[in-house]
Amino acid sequence: MEALAATELPRGPQWQYEPKWDGFRSIATRHGRKVELQSKAGRPLGRYFPDIVEALLQLKAKQFMLDGELVIPVEGDLVFNELQLRLHPAASRVSMLARAHPALYLVFDLLEDARGESLLVEPLRQRRQRLEAFAAKYFNDTVRLSPATADLSKARRWLRTMRGGLDGIIAKNLDASYEAGQRSGAMQKIKDLRTADCVVGGFRYASKSRVVGSLLLGLYGSDGLLHHVGFTSSIAAGERAALTKKLEALRRAPGFTGR
């Protein structure tokens, strides 16, 4: 089940609010000694997260299906790049990364309980109660319960103050069942967006083309130097040729003078 993008937190007694973790969404299933981690796109993730597979095998529950987020904390912050480093073909490399920075699995939904009963048609308010009871009985230091609140003011405070691997709030309708494979209005994501006015310090041509593919963005630092801070490629195809001519005519040294 996926969320629809929204610009503000929905309000009302039917809404529950959760942190939006900056990680890999994953469904975890266990049947006996068999554990599977599956990405949002349906790809297997278990080989990249042997530490999570082992933690799920250590749970006393022998059967379940969980929905949650894989994250990696480093010095108190969740670091998305560490997740990307795990997607490596060499098992020895993955094992080394897992020892250096162990992952966590933050669980926010229970889709099948320890008796093998499917909870997909149950409303979220019942699934959450069942999840909290399941977590209290079975979870460990690696498999953890993701927090949730029905307090709108608390959710707004999370949105204002969250940093370090948190990038918004997920609002969920407590009366809704789990709509597998659907992007539903019963689940909304409100992201923590910040804006900045940037200098266009350069551009890249598109792959195998002589029209602009992306603009390179910069900000001046306190040292007076123009530092590269990111890029944007949101350029309409019909505008690229004319924009390319304009950019080529504006090319001047020195461009970026800092980082």
Are residues 123 and 230 both part of a single domain?
Answer: no
CATH of the domain at 114: 3.30.470.30
Per residue in 157-179, pLDDT tens?
Answer: 988 887 767 889 999 999 999 99
Are residues 244 and 157 both part of a single domain?
Answer: no
Domain assignment present for residue 257? The answer is no
Quick one: pLDDT at residue 53?
Answer: 98
Domain assignment present for residue 54? The answer is yes
Domain assignment present for residue 62? The answer is yes
Q: Is pLDDT above 90 for 246?
A: yes
On the 0-12 / 13-18 / 19+ scale of CB atoms within 10 A, 183 is exposed
Based on the structure, what is the number of domains in the chain?
A: 2
Average pLDDT over residues 79-83: 92
Are residues 26 and 119 both part of a single domain?
Answer: yes
Residue 193: band (very low, low, confident or very high) from pLDDT cuts 50, 70, 90: confident
Range of the domain at 237: 199-249
Domain assignment present for residue 258? The answer is no
Are residues 152 and 220 both part of a single domain?
Answer: no
Supply the residues annotated as catalytic: 20
pTM given for the model: 0.78
Per residue in 97-111, pLDDT tens?
Answer: 999 999 999 999 999
Query: Looking at 164, 191, 218, which one is the last position of a domain?
Result: 191
How does the average pLDDT of the chain come out, rounded? 94
